[in-house]
């Protein structure tokens, strides 16, 4: 029997529909999906617009690059200091307020005569708010979808994010051809406001996961957020899952980070750089689709470690200096292994106490963005002292070691961190 929204659970999906079709059959998920696409289009359009605008005004490549970096770096600050909002207040209110606040900040960027430092500071504010929204959205997803469909919902949101991000760069560039930068910023603000309105009008009200005045909740948002970080890392099983969430993507981006020198070593030009950059994203989307459509939750858990190993298996090939076709094909085929993330999402949900759910998801998403950025920087630093092929091979060896060191404990039937045996997600 369908349950009411008042009890904090999603109405049951009618019929036996499973897989991605079952996820998309949930009306509330479709609202969150559409809101996410609008949000990403707005964010990427702002980054493109500010990058162009800053360069036009200053002529500084460094400041222009900061227009991209400052949209991501403050995620760690927001996740550490503000993430408790995702648990202490109703999810709908937090998500709508976060998107509305980001839209208002984007509108402020469009004010005539806004100095460049002020624009960059405002961009940093949007990055600090983002983890609060992502934590609330991911926690709400666990209420919207049954546990067995939760990883598939996360997978669809990731694929939507990748697709919308690529489209967002084209959208932002086209927008700048048609209107002034200030108008482009207002368009982005309107998209973010539309995302907030979709959430506010299209999702039901649910109570907060953890009342602000409850025992142990802490009296202040800052203190509660920091306490949530400490509590999350005090749980050995959750800590291991978070390390897998963060470290593996940070090592997997090394071929992308070194695409230009790798292409140069193969005698290729910009076209080969583009192919090297797109091989992994294309393989990733295909891998997630295949894992979600063809494997049950239990089989995804059983294949998580082999799939994660497959991501890094092609990396040592770069020591031998493969040709362009082999390099692109190897990266694309290896990226099919990113289907492991569906099993990892289920593990993250299982390992997280419900009272910490919003904070943990905020920390998880923010940490992944930060570690991927560090991965790009580490790849470049390594390649200053070694050939790019050797750097990629080193990342592959590191990834394989992390998968074996942390991932094997989560195989079905294996105990994790001294606790009970890991059970497959329902």
In-domain check, residue 423: no
CATH code assigned at 306 = 1.20.1250.20
132-142 mean pLDDT? 81
Q: What is the pLDDT of residue 221?
A: 62
pLDDT grade, residue 10 (50/70/90)? very low
Residue 337 lies in a domain: yes
Q: Which domain holds residue 44?
A: 14-207
> Do 234 and 338 sit in the same domain of this protein?
yes
- Do 160 and 280 lie in one domain? The reply is no
Is residue 230 domain-shared with residue 170, that is, in the same domain? no
d(CA 313, CA 255): 13
Mean pLDDT over residues 174-188, rounded?
88
Confidence at residue 360, expressed as pLDDT on a 0 to 100 scale: 83
* Co-location of 152 and 269 in the same domain: no
Banded model confidence at residue 217, pLDDT cuts 50, 70, 90? very low
Once rounded to an integer, what is the mean pLDDT over residues 312-327? 94
Strands in 16-81 per DSSP E? none
User: CA–CA separation, 127 vs 107, rounded Å?
Assistant: 15
- The Cα–Cα gap between 76 and 128 comes to 7
Do 231 and 134 share a structural domain?
Answer: no
**Looking at the predicted structure, is the pLDDT value of residue 366 above 50?**
yes
Taking CB atoms within 8 Å and a gap of at least 24, the contacts of 373-377 are: 373/69, 373/72, 373/73, 374/250, 375/249, 375/250, 375/251, 375/252, 375/253, 375/254, 375/257, 376/253, 376/256, 376/257
Residue 11 has pLDDT above 50, yes or no: no
Domain boundary among 147, 179, 207: 207
Q: Which residues of 232-260 are buried (b: 16+ CB within 10 A; e: fewer)?
A: beebebbebbbbbbbbbbbbbbbbbbbbb
Q: Which two tokens stand for residue 230?
A: 């400490």
Q: Would the pLDDT of 350 be above 60?
A: yes
Do 267 and 316 share a domain, yes or no?
A: yes
Pair (270, 377) in one structural domain: yes
pLDDT at site 391: 93
Q: Does 27 share its domain with 64? A: yes
* 251 inside domain: yes
Question: In the numeric block, which tokens belong to residue 313?
Answer: 């298996």
Is the residue at 215 inside a domain? no
Give 49-97 pLDDT, tens digit per residue.
887 787 778 776 666 656 666 655 666 665 555 555 666 778 788 889 9
Same domain, 97 and 137: yes
Q: Which of residues 151, 173, 207 is at a domain's end?
A: 207
The Cα 165–Cα 163 span in angstroms is 5
Tokens 């963060």, located at residue:
246
pLDDT at residue 61 in the model: 62
Among 214-218, 349-353, 384-388, the least confident range: 214-218
- Is 6 domain-assigned? no
pTM exceeds 0.75 for this model: no
Closest CA relative to residue 268, chosen from 211, 196, 326: 326
State the chain's mean pLDDT as an integer: 80
Domain annotation covers residue 421: no
Please report whether residue 213 resides in a domain. no
What percentage of the chain exceeds 90 in pLDDT?
31
User: 274 vs 95, 132, 327, CA distance in Å?
Assistant: 35, 33, 13
Residues 23 and 104 reside in one and the same domain? yes
Q: Is residue 158 a part of any domain in this protein? A: yes
Provide the number of structural domains found in the chain.
2
How many helices and strands in the chain, by DSSP H and E?
A: 20, 0
Question: Both 343 and 392 in a single domain?
Answer: yes
Q: Which pLDDT score is estimated for 214?
A: 43
Please indicate, yes or no, whether residues 168 and 286 belong to a single structural domain of this protein: no
Of residues 177 and 338, the one with the higher pLDDT is 338
Each residue's pLDDT tens digit, 27-60: 999 999 999 889 988 988 887 888 778 777 877 6
């Amino acid at each position: 029997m369908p349950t009411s929204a008042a009890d904090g659970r999603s109405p049951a999906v009618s019929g036996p529909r499973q897989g991605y079709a079952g996820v998309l059959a949930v009306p509330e998920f479709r609202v969150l999906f559409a809101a996410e696409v609008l949000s990403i289009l707005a964010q990427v359009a702002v980054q493109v617009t500010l990058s162009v605008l800053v360069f036009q005004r200053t002529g500084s490549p460094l400041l222009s690059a900061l227009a991209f970096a400052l949209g991501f770096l403050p995620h760690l600050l927001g996740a550490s200091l503000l993430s408790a909002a995702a648990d202490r207040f109703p999810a709908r209110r937090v998500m709508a307020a976060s998107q509305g606040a980001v839209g208002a900040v984007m509108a402020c960027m469009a004010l005539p005569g806004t100095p460049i430092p002020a624009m960059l500071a405002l961009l940093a504010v949007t990055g600090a708010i983002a983890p609060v929204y992502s934590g609330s959205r991911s926690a709400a997803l666990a209420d919207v979808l049954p546990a067995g469909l939760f990883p598939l919902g996360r997978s669809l949101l990731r694929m939507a994010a990748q697709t919308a991000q690529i489209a967002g760069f084209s959208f932002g560039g086209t927008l700048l051809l048609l209107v002034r930068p200030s108008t482009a910023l207002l368009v982005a603000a309107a998209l973010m406001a539309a995302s907030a309105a979709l959430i506010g009008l299209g999702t039901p009200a649910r109570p907060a996961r953890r009342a602000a005045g409850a025992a142990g909740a802490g009296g202040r948002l800052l203190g509660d957020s920091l306490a949530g970080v400490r509590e999350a890392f005090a749980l050995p099983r959750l800590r291991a899952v978070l390390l897998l969430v963060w470290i593996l993507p940070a090592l997997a981006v090394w071929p992308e980070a070194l695409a230009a020198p790798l292409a140069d070593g193969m005698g290729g030009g910009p076209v080969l750089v583009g192919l090297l950059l797109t091989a992994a994203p294309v393989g990733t989307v295909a891998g997630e689709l295949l894992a979600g459509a063809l494997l049950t939750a239990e089989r995804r858990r059983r294949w998580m470690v082999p799939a994660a190993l497959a991501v890094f298996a092609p990396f040592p090939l770069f020591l031998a200096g493969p040709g362009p076709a082999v390099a692109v094909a190897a990266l694309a085929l290896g990226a099919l292994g990113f289907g492991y993330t569906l099993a990892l999402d289920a593990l993250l949900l299982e390992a997280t106490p419900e009272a910490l759910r919003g904070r943990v998801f905020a920390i998880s998403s923010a940490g992944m963005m930060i570690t991927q950025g560090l991965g790009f920087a580490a790849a470049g630093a390594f390649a200053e002292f070694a050939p790019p092929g050797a750097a990629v091979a080193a990342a592959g060896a590191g990834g394989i070691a992390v998968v074996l060191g942390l991932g094997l404990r989560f195989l079905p039937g294996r105990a994790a961190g001294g606790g009970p045996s890991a059970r497959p997600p329902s």
